[in-house]
Amino acid sequence: MDLFFAYMFVASATPLFLWLEHRKIALLSVPFIFVMWALAISFLFEGFMFHISESTFIAGFLINVLIAHVAAFILYASPYYQAKSKKLSETSE
């Protein structure tokens, strides 16, 4: 469970990293982060807000993991691949 919470903090910071360059993606990830935290709190307090199953919590968590990985790809790998493809197109001309 500690790993879930550690990654939840990382996933919660994702919109901050995306805000300057990709605001639409940052804003789209905010509702999923709220749902992730609501499910986690509900799971910890055994359905205090609403009754959920463990699979619902894990599914919500995995959706946020996917969003965070897409954001990391957009921020870090995408510029590298764009520069590489630009360099290849310049050398082929």
pLDDT, mean of residues 44-67: 70
pLDDT, mean of residues 11-19: 80
Tokens of 47: 């359905």
Tokens of 56: 């619902």
Residue 64: count other Cβ atoms within 10 Å of its Cβ.
Answer: 22
Residue 46 has pLDDT above 80, yes or no: no
**Does the predicted TM-score (pTM) go above 0.95?**
no
The CB-based long-range contact list for 72-79 (8 Å cut-off, 24+ gap) reads 74/18, 74/22, 74/25, 75/17, 75/18, 75/21, 75/22
Torsions phi, psi for 22 (to 5 deg): -135, 70
